[in-house]
Amino acid sequence: MSSTKLLAKNLTKMRSILYDRFIVISFLWVWLISMLDHYLTIKLQQVIIHDEKNPIGLFLIELDSGSVALFMTVKMMCLWIIAGVILSFYHKNKTLAYVCVVALSIVQFFLLLYFFWGHWIPS
């Protein structure tokens, strides 16, 4: 094998490892923000019925007699479904997976901003 082909093969392998790390770090970011969201929702469940802005969340809380258990379960199931879809994309079309995980990471960043500064938003 020529040195050019060997170099190209090694660069491709290194790029693949870098992309794999990017996906893992992005998933870790999304998971951490989701866990913070879950923690705060459970911790503040006594007032969440009044402050929750998500109509689906409110519906699930009301359906579960004011408990956040059903709401948290559905949110966790959705997180796992999204992770599965992105991993499926990753195996079929890596570019699409990167676009999806970047979009999800940006949404999670805005959620984090909302956690810290959402109380400044007028009702």
Phi-psi region of 52 (alpha: psi -120 to 50; beta: other; left: phi over 0): beta
| Spans of all domains in the chain | 20-117
Report pLDDT for 24: 87
Q: Write down the pLDDT at residue 10.
A: 64
Q: What is the DSSP letter of 2?
A: -
- The structure's pTM equals 0.77
Of residues 89 and 10, more confidently modeled: 89
Task: Write the pLDDT tens digit of every residue in 52-91.
Answer: 888 998 999 999 998 899 999 999 999 999 989 998 998 8
Q: What is the pLDDT of residues 87-106, one digit of tens each?
A: 899 889 888 999 999 999 99
Whether the pLDDT of residue 123 is over 70: the answer is: no
Q: Which residues contact 64 (CB under 8 A, 6 or more apart)?
A: 70, 71
Higher pLDDT, 115 or 102: 102
> How many other β-carbons are positioned within 10 Å of the β-carbon of residue 83?
16
**Axis-axis angle for helices 94-117, 69-92 (nearest 10):** 150
